[in-house]
Amino acid sequence: MPKIGTRKLYYLLSDKFSEMSVKIGRDALFDYLRSENMLVKPRKNYTKTTNSKHWLRKHPNLYLGLDVKEPEQVFVSDITYIKSQEKTHYLSLVTDAYSRKIMGYHLSDDMSAENVVKALRMAIKNKRTNKSSIHHSDRGLQYCSDVYQKELKLNNITPSMTDGYDCYQNALAERVNGILKNEFLLYKCKNKEELHKLIDESIEIYNNKRPHLNLKMKTPNFVHEKTDEESLHRSN
C-alpha cells in the first residue's frame, strides 16, 4: 500500500514503534514524512462516465438521509475509467455502504449494461444473507437499463438513484473508486490481462488489509463479517 494515508500508516505501525521503543506521535510522523517529501499528494483528474440524458425511467433517491445499520442493507455502484498501454478500460464496482467492502467488480472495454451488470451479479453471489437490499447509483444509462433493472428485481433489490446531476449523492461509491485509483492502481499496465490481475490483488488488499478511518481503523471485510455474525447470534 505505497500511497496509504499517514493516519492509517501510524495506526498500522504503532505496535512496531512500541516494540522498537520509538516514541513518535501522529503529528510528529506527519512532520517527519513531510521533511522527507514522502507525504501523498492527491491527484485531480476527472473523466465523465455518466450519461443521464436518456428516456429510461429514473428511480427516486432512497439512500439520502437513510440510517444504514448493517451490511448488505445498501449497495452503492459506480463506473470509473482506467487506462492501460493498449486502451481505456472501465471498472464497475458494487460496494457495501455499511462495511465499505467491495462486493462485486468487473473490468471491461466498454460501459455497456451487459458488462456493468456483471459486477452486480458478483455482489449478489457474495452476499451472506437473503435480506432485501437497496441498490444506489447515479442515473446512468447502464443502471436504468432493462437488463440491470431485471437483475435487481430478480434478487429482491430496490433501485435508488441520485437526484439530477448531484454527484455528492453517490459520494461513497466515488470515494471507493478514488481509493483504488490513487492508492493502488498507480502504474499503467501493458494490457487488460495485466490490469485485471492488478485489480484482483488491489481489491483483495483493500477489503482485507487497508484500515478505514470511518470504520474505526478496521478493515471492510472484518466489519462486514463481524457484524453479520453478531446479527446471526442475536437472531438465534
191-230 pLDDT, tens digit per residue, is 999 999 999 999 999 999 999 999 999 999 999 998 755 5
**Is there a domain that residue 55 lies in?**
no
DSSP 57: P
The pairs formed by 82-86 with CB atoms below 8 angstroms and a separation of 24 or more are: 82/107, 82/181, 82/185, 82/195, 82/199, 83/188, 84/188, 84/189, 84/190, 84/191, 84/192, 84/194, 84/195, 85/188, 85/189, 85/190, 85/191, 86/190, 86/191, 86/192
The whole-angstrom separation of Cα 125 and Cα 103 is: 9
Q: CA-to-CA distance for 94 and 92, rounded, in angstroms?
A: 7
CATH number of the domain enclosing 128: 3.30.420.10
Model-level pTM greater than 0.75?
yes
Q: What is the DSSP string of 197-228?
A: HHHHHHHHHHHHT--BGGGTTB-HHHHHHHHH
85 and 189 share one domain: yes
Whole domain around residue 11: which residue ranges? 6-35
Co-location of 19 and 127 in the same domain? no
Q: Which three cell numbers stand for residue 174?
A: 466515488
Residues 189 and 104 both lie in one domain: yes
Q: What number of helices (H) and strands (E) belong to the chain?
A: 8, 5
State the Rg of the chain over Cα. Answer: 19
CA 222 centroid distance within chain? 15
Chain centroid to Cα 142, Å, comes to: 18
**Cβ contact 106:115 at 8 Å:** yes
List the chain pLDDT tens, one digit each, 236 residues: 777 777 777 778 888 878 888 888 777 776 777 787 877 666 555 455 444 454 467 889 999 999 999 999 999 999 999 999 999 999 999 999 999 999 999 999 999 999 999 999 999 999 999 999 999 999 989 999 999 999 999 999 999 999 866 667 889 999 999 999 999 998 899 999 999 999 999 999 999 999 999 999 999 999 999 875 555 444 44
Look at residue 126 and tell me if it is in a domain. yes
Q: Is 137 within a domain?
A: yes
- Dihedral sign, Cα of residue 42, residue 44, residue 45, residue 51: positive
Residue 16 in any domain: the answer is yes
Q: Tell me the pLDDT tens digit for each residue of 146-162.
A: 999 999 999 999 999 99
* Same domain? 23 vs 91: no
If asked whether residues 83 and 31 sit together in one domain, one would say no
| Domain total in the chain | 2
